[in-house]
Structure 1
Amino acid sequence: MKKLFTIKTLALLSSVALLSACDKGFEQLNINPDTSPIIVPSYMFSKAQYDALNNSCASTYEFACGGSVQHFSTYKDVPAIGDKYFFSQGTYPYDFFNNAYPLGVNEIGAVINAVKNDPTQANLHAIARIWKAFTFHRITDLYGDVPYSEAGTGYTNANFTPKYDSQKSIYEDMLKELEQAATSLDASKASYGSADLIYGGDVTKWKKFAYSMMFRLSMRLTKVDANLAKTWAQKAIAGGVILDDADLAKVQYIANGQDINKNPISLALRGNNYAVANGNDNTEGGKFAKTFVSFLTANKDPRLNSISVVWVNKTQDTTLAIQKGMPNGLLQKPADFITYSEPNINTVLKLDAPLIVLSNAEMNLLMAEAVIRGWASGDAATYYKNGIAASMRSMALYGDAAAISTAKINTYLAGHLFASSFESQMEQIHSQMWVSLFPNEVEVYSNWRRTGYPKLTPVNITGNLTNGSIPRRLLYPLAEENLNGPNFKAAVASQGENTLTTRIWWDK
């Protein structure tokens, strides 16, 4: 026994010695030269901006939201979550949730943790807080109750099962964060500079962005709590929102290099539907929807010519007379599929097209609503006209081929005077919002659920999951039910079943 123990002991000691010898330089060899253990706030902030905007731009933007608001249609069933209210395979209802947390949410949280205790980086902290609100408002608007207060704490506290916060509490905190961040911005201190993809670190413009976000969120509450909506809307208006072209928030992309440099909506839609570029072999069977094209056509809207084409002899044709949308709810490829309109790859789907994050068109239209509600002073008709004109002018951002002349804008405005009754005014404002926010389909979907305008006729295809009603939210991922079960169950108990028809808090 003693001899056996001695042999085993020597073998063990030899192994330890050998491992010790092998360990020399081992840590150095295992350091990735392309990464840093230290957070560089400016670099991480750029990535947080990229990733918050580049999230499921096909499955969520086109298939789910764009189909639901009848901007897009498809004859196929797999991508038909918004078109036919089907979901039989894939991850379309989950994608935005699954991608948001490990990327944009964690990244902006890391920036905040890196700068929050350094007074010299007060602007970096404030802008990061604003961007965190932007990142989260899209998640909660798509799903309702979601992890918020404990989100990202897997890295900091090893908490891999975060609780779900109520959407009400999330909205209250986002509004508070926007107010505190806006008032703490100081133009005399340093900012992100060129690392800021939207404003190049311009603190004055970020303050307007913060109040504009506050305005967007406050108006989201008109159905659920009009008094709270009014309070925050008036704070936002007093603070100063984006009303002029010069303050429009956008990211300018480039067509070359890595995919992260390219407009994510353009890249996703081209890759998932319009890559072949012949009008017939669209991968997911997608086209512009009949509702969308018919609205633009009936109103003689010059934006149709900027964004829409029909492929004729392998060439994009923008002739207005031939533009037509494909009906939602089709179950087979139409024989005349090639004759339906789709997005112009040389304008709105250019890889170097800018991505409009928050526009003066939206803010002017919301101002028109605030005025008719009695929450703001000014002339609602003027704000309404300014919103439409701003949207039309913004077409020039997609190149000369998309630009709309002042004469055409004035002609359109002259033919679309502001109505006199509240409901008619609301319908005008938000039908214009439905057009003006394109291709930001996540925001189009949220605004439509809040206002109900334009009035859309749902499809009712056999086998759909909503009894023929347009979906009101997306679905929590299966992984949440399996890996974060107690918190998932608490959210469902509070909000309602994890279905496409369960309405979120502000959509009651």
Structure 2
Amino acid sequence: MKNSKILTILFCLFMIFSCKVDDLNVSDKQISDVPSSTLFTNGQRNLVDQMVTQSVFDNHLKFYAQYWAGTGFIGPETNFQDLKSFPQNYWNTLYRDVLSDLNEAARLIPEEEIFGLTEIDKQNRLAIIEVLKVYTFHVLVDLFGDVPYSEALSLDKDILNPVYDNDQNIYTNIINQLNTAIGNLNTSGQSFGDSDLMYQGDVSKWAKFANSLKLRLALRIADVDSNQAGTLATEAVNSGVFTSNNDNASLSYESTTPNTNPIWETLVNSGREDYVVAEAVVDIMQPINDPRQSVYFDNNLTPYVGGVLGNLNIFDDFTHIGTAFHQPDLEGLLLDYAEVEFLLAEAAERSLVGSPADAENHYNNAITASITYWGGSSGDATTYLAQASVAYTTATGNYRQKIGTQQWIAFYNRGFDGWSSYRRLGFPNLSNSSEGNPVPRRIKYPIREYNTNGTNVTNAASNIGGDELTTKVFWDVN
């Protein structure tokens, strides 16, 4: 792992002595002398773990994106039905284990006296925390719609039941937060050093991540407010977004527990055989000879055969998950260069940044970046792109189909992003579950919210048009 062994020990000690609580605005960490850097590390690690994992209890968005299918059981998660524990666990992790730790770290930083830590360094630390908070709140909005925001992290202990803010208003606010954070990042200073599991304290890398996240948010709102989207996208590009896979927002895992990739824990360490490749991704990638198939899929069957969402798939009858995802040290990604290039291609088509004439080059760069990331060559990408079914020249009048499908393929190991791309662009054409249920457009509020914050969650459900899997978040207009 990129962090030191000492940091791992600090992390373990912190987990042992921290006693978690369910109320969003209660922080038990103030009773101890936990360093802000340890809280930051903990929040960062929990965020990446949650986005990476695939579990019927914690995260089953690879089902929603139709990358993986379940085996040996027919459950609500594979039939696109309500699953009670999944929303609660996602909610708990992002609010309690990520935002709470980041918020407490930010509270401590101004008063900490650490040898060699300058005011510029502290400013950078606070800005980086804001970037991760923005990322986390954007994920919460994209999952649920209206969520607690303005009162969610209040230090006022009397606010135990925070109000839910309008999802579009939250986006407006987090974009403002992100702009402020970008303005406060100062490359002449340092930040978290080895306590930063993603960039080891490299402020210039954080600036690229922040701008790339801003570009993502710009395209999220492009169908709702194209003028604002154009302004944000232009600002992000001018300030500097990712330009290669070396910029990727990623966290390296180790080959031994407890710092292994959660996917390894699910596929290997559990000793279970709960997942196979889904039918949709096989049926889309196989006919176009996608070179990433040999990485995404195992070679236990020829040709590849994908499982059906909602069916009782027998493990040995379908293509298994590729061996790359059985490695304990497979890195976890939050945002990568390939995504940035896909976003730039779309921005060009919408004339937000550049013109439609620029789209093909960005599209080609995106696919090449994805193929080379997974071990392929630029030659493999050139051959792949030469096919009429892949080449951007055949996208005339329907850039959503070309970009949407290829972006979805590139997001194979990122269920949240693949599902979000599908909801926003409408491609590829994903089928209903075997029982006829459509792909969810959001996840439902946790049941515990109705028990503990009933008035506010009930109001939120009414405001978004119903607490249903079919209800859309504000940017999902397709």
Q: TM-score, structure 2 length as denominator?
A: 0.86
Instruction: Output the amino acid matched with 1:342.
Output: H
Unaligned runs of 5+ in 2: 1-14, 19-30, 113-118
Higher-Rg structure is 1
Deviation per CA, 1:252-271: give whole Å up to 9, x if none: 1002132xx11123323445
1:80 Cα deviation from its structure 2 partner: 3.8
Within 5 Å, which residues of 2 pair with 1:71-150?
71-74=67-70, 79-81=75-77, 83-87=78-82, 91-115=85-109, 119-120=119-120, 121-150=122-151
Within 5 Å, which residues of 2 pair with 1:112-191?
112-115=106-109, 119-120=119-120, 121-153=122-154, 157-191=157-191
Give the whole-Å Cα distance in 1 for the aligned partners of 2:409 and 2:187: 35
Q: Contact (CA 8 Å) 2:48, 2:333: kept in 1 or not? A: no
Give the whole-Å Cα distance in 2 for the aligned partners of 1:187 and 1:156: 34
1:293 Cα deviation from its structure 2 partner: 1.0
1:308 Cα deviation from its structure 2 partner: 0.9
Unaligned runs of 5+ in 1: 1-31, 277-281, 312-316, 396-402, 462-466
Tell me if 1:339 matches 2:340.
Answer: no
Q: How many residues align?
A: 439
Give the whole-Å Cα distance in 2 for the aligned partners of 1:430 and 1:187: 35
**Equivalent in the alignment of 1:303:** 292
Give the whole-Å Cα distance in 2 for the aligned partners of 1:182 and 1:485: 37
Deviation per CA, 1:12-60: give whole Å up to 9, x if none: xxxxxxxxxxxxxxxxxxxx99677124121111111111122272247
**Equivalent in the alignment of 2:470:** 501
Tell me if 1:476 matches 2:476.
Answer: no
Q: Contact (CA 8 Å) 2:400, 2:426: kept in 1 or not? A: no
Deviation per CA, 1:405-463: give whole Å up to 9, x if none: 333222112223213555432211111110112211011111111111112222351xx
Q: Contact (CA 8 Å) 1:61, 1:441: kept in 2 or not? A: no
**Aligned residue among 396, 401, 411 for 1:437:** 411
**Equivalent in the alignment of 2:402:** 428
Give the whole-Å Cα distance in 2 for the aligned partners of 1:432 and 1:251: 24
Deviation per CA, 1:322-379: give whole Å up to 9, x if none: 322112232x345xx41311212x3123111111221000000110111111111262
**Equivalent in the alignment of 1:367:** 344
The change in CA–CA distance for 1:37 and 1:66 in structure 2 (over 3 A counts) is same
Instruction: Output the amino acid matched with 1:348.
Output: F
Q: TM-score, structure 1 length as denominator?
A: 0.81
Give the whole-Å Cα distance in 2 for the aligned partners of 1:323 and 1:224: 40
1:61 Cα deviation from its structure 2 partner: 9.8
**Equivalent in the alignment of 1:42:** 37
Tell me if 1:350 matches 2:344.
Answer: no
**Equivalent in the alignment of 2:262:** 264
**Equivalent in the alignment of 1:200:** 200
Q: CA RMSD in A?
A: 2.4
Instruction: Output the amino acid matched with 1:70.
Output: Q
1:477 Cα deviation from its structure 2 partner: 0.8
Tell me if 1:328 matches 2:309.
Answer: yes
Within 5 Å, which residues of 2 pair with 1:273-284?
275-276=271-272, 282=273, 284=274
SS of aligned partner of 2:475: helix
Identical residues among aligned pairs (%)? 28
Deviation per CA, 1:75-116: give whole Å up to 9, x if none: 5555442x32234x6512432113222111101111122225
Instruction: Output the amino acid matched with 1:357.
Output: L
Give the whole-Å Cα distance in 2 for the aligned partners of 1:59 and 1:506: 27
Q: Contact (CA 8 Å) 1:460, 1:469: kept in 2 or not? A: no
The change in CA–CA distance for 1:201 and 1:183 in structure 2 (over 3 A counts) is same
Give the whole-Å Cα distance in 1 for the aligned partners of 2:209 and 2:447: 35
Instruction: Output the amino acid matched with 1:37.
Output: S
The change in CA–CA distance for 1:470 and 1:228 in structure 2 (over 3 A counts) is same
Q: Contact (CA 8 Å) 1:67, 1:80: kept in 2 or not? A: no
Structure 1 runs (4+) greater than 3 angstroms displaced = 32-36, 59-64, 75-80, 116-120, 268-272, 420-423
The change in CA–CA distance for 1:423 and 1:439 in structure 2 (over 3 A counts) is farther
The change in CA–CA distance for 1:62 and 1:74 in structure 2 (over 3 A counts) is farther
